[in-house]
Amino acid sequence: MAEERDPSFTILEYTGDHSAHKCGYCKSVAGSFSHGMWAHRMAVGDYQDLIDRGWRRSGKYCYKPTMNRTCCPLYTIRCDASEIRLTKGQKKVLKRVHRYLSHGDIKPEGGKIPDNEQCVSPTGNQEYVKPKFDTTKDLSMVSVSPAAIKNAKGTCTASAREPNCSISGEVLPVDGSVDSNSHSQNSGKVIQPVRGNDTRNLSPKSPHQVAGPDPSKPPCRKSKLIRLERREAKLAKRREEASSRGESLMEVTKSKSSNNTPKSLEDFLNEPLPESPAHKLEVKLVRSHPGSMGFVQTFGIAHKVYQKYQINIHGDSPDRCSESQFRRFLCNSPLEPWHPGCGPLSGYGSFHHQYWLDDRLIAVGVLDILPHCVSSVYLYYDPEFSFLSLGTYASLRELALTRELQRTAAALKWYYMGFYIHSCPKMRYKGNYSPSFLLCPETYIWVPIEKATPKLDLAEYSRLNEDTSARDYYGEVDLNRIKILYDQDLILYEMYQRLNPKGDDEDEVKEYASLVGAKSAHSMVLYRG
């Protein structure tokens, strides 16, 4: 059966701004450098490729630290959720939460409340990045026809161009037809994919493209998937029963191995509660873009918790955590939802992971669920419950969520924790989740953190890959294959240069291509005003 393709596509607006800004870690006034671009809309597969090259998003703004220039290099870190090994401290946090839910006990072991593993700063949250620029256009509703690019070389003349894009948000398919499979399941809008030169799932050396599914035929469904759906229905019933008893909605997984086998993460999370527990904890996953009913109904409550967190934990003023700012950076997302038949039941896209204690919202984890990972965007919580070490507890719940999603999406095994900053001791806690890997900033190869940290002890910036012959596999980019959205038309860069002979942005386009890599550069669409 042909691989199922995501019908979404990506439109980015890149800025070549190289100005320095204040560092949130070492407090250097002008020591932090990064590259930025605005994502008007983005396919989840494209974002997966970008974070695997050191990019990260804050709202619709995507940024990549300039690793060899910035004062505190930020290394992308991920943990293999399928092989998670709990530390003694993490087990203590899980036990502390269980004691609180069971008996209302808030006294920590040893009589001391541990750090909640959040880097507290009087100048605000360091990982909360403000865009260096604001886009002047909204291209989120642009629709692109399948025949937007006629050939890979882009040799068509300006007179032969067809109107391939609609800035108004209407769909203008070239052949006048509309594929029913291209309807978004959540928004109801028609999305036409870029097909002409899509290399999202191909190696740069691949000579042929893989054909997508036949839209005239119903999608094939494997027997394995049907069995999984039946199993999920049974598990849903068990979750409902667990909820009525005040237990977590996480699937109860009982260990069948000998008593000598360490308890799994699920064993700790689903430790049975007393018949009449002191507290009830419920964890809900709600889609934030487009907002589901559960997200919309709890938006005001979530914003109040966020505001309380920012003011008390990070010292922000009330105007810096307004409702519009909260929506812009933690609710708005460029990721287009995707619900493939072989993917997780929740689908891919942006979500809020809500923690409800006795029907009171106490914490929210902002997450992106992507083809290979769960990416943690941000976490905020009610400071009244700091004694529960919610930073650690939420990370463990997100690891458990990743493990749960992997049952229906085998490739989804990684938990991305954002950036690891070795030069900031308070931010090293992310390395406590094992096994973890850091991304080499030069070859984009993942290196076990145990091999990487000795290098970072010697130098804040380091090429982590020990193979001196290794190179950036996607480092060489054919600029002529880059798709450009220009003057409401989708064209290749070669034609863009002919239509805009006096343009002086070639160096900027080259820089963009080198930062996103060949795979992404040839898949995504770059807007040039």
Q: State the DSSP string of 95-158.
A: HHHHHHHHH---PPGGG-PPP-S----TT--TT-PPPSS--S---TT-EE-TTS-SSTT----G
Listed in sequence order, the residues at least 6 apart from 217 whose beta carbon sits closer than 8 Å to its beta carbon are none
The CA distances from residue 195 to 120, 345, 415, in Å, are 46, 26, 30
The whole-angstrom separation of Cα 169 and Cα 40 is 13
Q: Which two tokens stand for residue 307?
A: 């505001």
Q: Does residue 223 lie in a domain region?
A: no
Half-sphere exposure of 39 (CA within 13 A, CB side): 27
With beta carbons less than 8 A apart as the criterion, state whether 522 and 199 touch. yes
Q: Is residue 153 part of a domain?
A: yes
Residue 460, burial from CB neighbour count under 10 angstroms (0-12, 13-18, 19+) = middle
Would residue 265 count as lying in a domain?
Answer: no
Distance of CA 402 to the CA centre of its chain: 12
Report d(CA 26, CA 427) in Å as an integer. Answer: 12
Q: Are 509 and 496 in contact (CB under 8 A)?
A: no
CA atoms within 13 A on the CB side of 472: 20
Range of the domain at 475: 11-71+133-212+469-527
Q: Quick check: is 251 in a domain? A: no
> What integer pLDDT is reported at residue 229 of this predicted model?
74
DSSP string over 39-80: EEEB-HHHHHHHHTTT-EEETTEEEEE-TTTSSS--EEEEEE
- Residue 348 lies inside a defined structural domain of this protein: no
pLDDT at 109: 52
Cα(445)–Cα(443) distance, rounded to whole angstroms?
A: 5
Looking at the structure of the chain, the number of domains it has is 1
Strand partners, 64: 35
Task: Give per-residue pLDDT as tens, 28-46.
Answer: 788 888 999 999 999 999 9
Is position 44 within any domain?
yes
Query: Any residues with CB less than 8 A from the CB of 447 and at least 6 apart, and which?
Result: 437, 438, 439, 440, 464, 465, 466
Bridge pairing between strands 281-289 and 349-357: antiparallel
Indicate the SS3 state at residue 284: strand
Residue 232: per-residue pLDDT: 74
Asked if 41 and 9 count as a contact pair (C-beta separation under 8 A), the reply is yes
- DSSP label at 407? T
Count helices and strands in the chain by DSSP H and E runs: 11, 17
Sheet containing 349-357: order of strands: 281-289, 349-357, 360-369, 373-381, 414-420, 75-80, 436-439, 446-448
Q: 3-state class of 493 per DSSP?
A: helix
pTM: 0.79
List CB contacts of 253: < 8 A, sequence separation 6 or more: 264, 266, 267, 270
What long-range pairs does 25-32 form, CB within 8 A, spacing at least 24?
Answer: 25/71, 25/72, 25/119, 25/126, 25/421, 25/423, 25/424, 25/427, 26/71, 26/72, 26/423, 26/424, 27/123, 28/71, 31/70, 31/71, 31/72, 32/65, 32/70, 32/71, 32/72
Phi and psi of 53, rounded to 5°?
-120, 20
Q: What is the CA radius of gyration of the chain?
A: 24
Q: What is the mean pLDDT of each run of 10 residues along the chain (529 residues)?
A: 82 85 80 91 97 96 93 96 96 97 77 46 44 67 56 39 42 34 37 39 41 57 68 71 57 50 93 95 97 97 97 92 94 96 94 98 98 97 96 97 96 96 88 97 97 96 95 95 91 92 89 97 93
**Predicted pLDDT of residue 150:** 40
Q: What is the pLDDT of residue 66?
A: 93
Pairing of the two strands 446-448 and 436-439: antiparallel
Q: Does some domain include residue 281?
A: no
| Pairwise CA distance, residues 461 & 146, whole Å | 43
In the prediction, which pLDDT does 426 show? 81
| Residue 54 maps to a domain | yes
Partners of 61 in the beta sheet?
A: 38, 58
Q: What share of the chain is helix, strand, coil (3-state, %, to 5)?
A: 30, 20, 50
User: At residue 95, what are phi and psi to the nearest 5 degrees?
Assistant: -70, -35
